[in-house]
Chain A
Amino acid sequence: MNILAAVSKDIPIADAGIVALLGYGVVFLGLILLMVVVILLGKAFVAAEKRKKEAPIETPAAAPVAEPDAPVAPGSAGGVKLYDVEPKTAAMLMAIVADKMGKPLNELRFISIREVK
């Protein structure tokens, strides 16, 4: 259980070095791979959305129109309705409230934010 004892049979140290270097390297590789996949996925969805918008919209008269989802504030657990408030300002307000309450954002639910004039 001392340094000299460990150094005298230096194979575990070499093993540990290999595990450390390989492990750290592969963690980086794995996360880079994941990052690339997420970026590509994001781009594919943006492109698909663009194509959808550019295409002529043919809506049959009788087809029911699906109501679009309300914009979801980043970091929140559900939707929040914004009245005369920029999404950026709302995000800031929610961050301040979470911080003052000492609770993580995902444990709080904001129903709506309205500017009082």
Chain B
Amino acid sequence: MEILYQNLLNIEFQHVIMWIIGGLLIYFAIAKEMEPTLLLPMGFGAILVNLPIAEAGSGVQAVIDFLFKIGIDSHELFPLLLFVGIGAMIDFEPLLTNPKLMLFGAAAQFGIFFTLFLATLLGFDLKDAASIAIIGAADGPTSIFVAGQLQSNYIGAIMVAAYSYMALVPLVQPPIIKLCTTKKERLIRMEYKGKKVSKTTKILFPIVVTVLVAFVAPDAVALIGFLMFGNLIRECGVLNSLSDTAQNVLANLITIFLGITIASRMKAEDFLQVETLLIMGLGLVAFIVDTFGGIMLAKLMNLFCKEKINPMIGAAGISAFPMSARVVHKLGLQEDSSNFLLMHSIGVNVSGQIASVIAGGLILALVKGMLGM
């Protein structure tokens, strides 16, 4: 008889809290459409790994742990494969027509480095602080890659924070942008010089980026290499069906397993800690400071440049692609319904993608070097 009610007796208060958290993630994914592709599997996974039956050795935990081991823990396979799909989705043309936009991608990584310092000040050790800081990359695969490589103890919380804030970009960024800019600045018009980019340039770009990043940040080569491989498939013009598969089938398949795999690190005993709240707070700080950094560079450039830049586009330097670019475009339209900033903000947005990968690689190299990992 005992076997019938044994699992009921195994339920603990912490399990119930995790079910509520899982339920909330599913609610946000479905009702609010916030990053549903990841929040939904993560939410369901959070419930799954916190069932008492799972602890009783039903095999569920073992399967998810196995997925974690092969997909993230061993060589960060899932985030890298996902980057092939993301690379195939990205069109670098707006960036190639105006390469100066790359500077904003660099500026908007300020939040990563500020948060690294802040997290250390709050008492996190260097490897955890670096893993938390990379939430500011606004790029899920990069966050997973760095946190996985540094073997952070908080990978579950970091993933939840990274993907939650990416989904919350339309809520987080507008008030910061408005706070940092004047109405006059938001009304600045930027002419889009739609120069034609040759096919050769588009093909050479991913190769050149990969080689350059190998010199600047060798630890980022895996990330940038897979991202640029996806982009090369897209731009070469002879692999349309592979490009289509990478953008849709591959990206979707990996996303399904990535979400539920991350949930393996959302067990009550690991997740329900004060540190989780701190990580959520630090992640928010990272996003805010990133936005601030991008805007401030645009303001600084306006002091010297003849052709004025709308400072709002600097905010798109976080690599939440393409949400951040769309947020800036919408804000531009709110101020002036004929001011189209989309192409500029997309250019900045894709430069943020490259910059965040370089930042991730540098953090990895520097922290590993200091800790002798």
**Interface residues, chain A, CB within 8 Å of chain B?**
1-3, 5-7, 12-13, 15-24, 26-35, 37-39, 41-42, 45, 49, 69, 71-72, 74-77, 87-88, 91-92, 95-96, 98-99, 104-106
Contact = CB atoms under 8 A, between A and B. Distances in A.
B204 A35 contact: no
Interface in B166-218: 192, 194, 196-201, 204-205, 208-209, 212-213, 216-217
Q: Which 4 A-B pairs have the closest CB atoms?
A: A16-B120, A20-B113, A30-B216, A31-B106
Specify which of A33, A38, A71, A77 lies most central, judged by the most chain B CB atoms within 10 Å of its CB. Answer: A38
B90 A106 contact: yes
A26 B326 contact: no
Contacts of A6: 120-123
B129 A31 contact: no
A2 B123 contact: yes
A18 B275 CA distance: 24
Contacts of B330: 99
A45 B232 CA distance: 19
A3 B363 contact: no
Nearest to B92: A38
Interface in B93-112: 93-94, 96-97, 99-100, 102-103, 105-107, 109-110, 112
A13 B216 contact: no
Q: DSSP majority for the A interface? A: helix
Contacts of A71: 196
Interface residues of B, number: 68
A3 B91 contact: no
B212 A33 contact: yes
Contacts of B196: 71-72
Contacts of B366: 18-19, 22-23
B160 interface: no
A88 to B, nearest CB: 6
B122 A24 contact: no
23 contacts: A6-B120, A12-B129, A16-B119, A18-B366, A18-B370, A19-B370, A23-B366, A24-B359, A27-B355, A28-B107, A30-B106, A34-B208, A35-B100, A37-B212, A38-B102, A41-B201, A42-B99, A42-B197, A74-B343, A75-B342, A92-B340, A105-B346, A106-B90
A92 B191 CA distance: 12
Nearest to A19: B366
Contact of A45 (B120, B192, B201): B201
Given A13-B120, A74-B343, 12 more contacts: A3-B121, A12-B120, A13-B117, A13-B121, A26-B216, A28-B106, A30-B216, A31-B103, A31-B354, A77-B91, A92-B340, A106-B90
B344 to A, nearest CB: 11
A74 B90 CA distance: 12
B77 interface: no
B131 interface: no
B117 A31 contact: no
Given A23-B359, A74-B343, A106-B91, A3 B213 contact: no
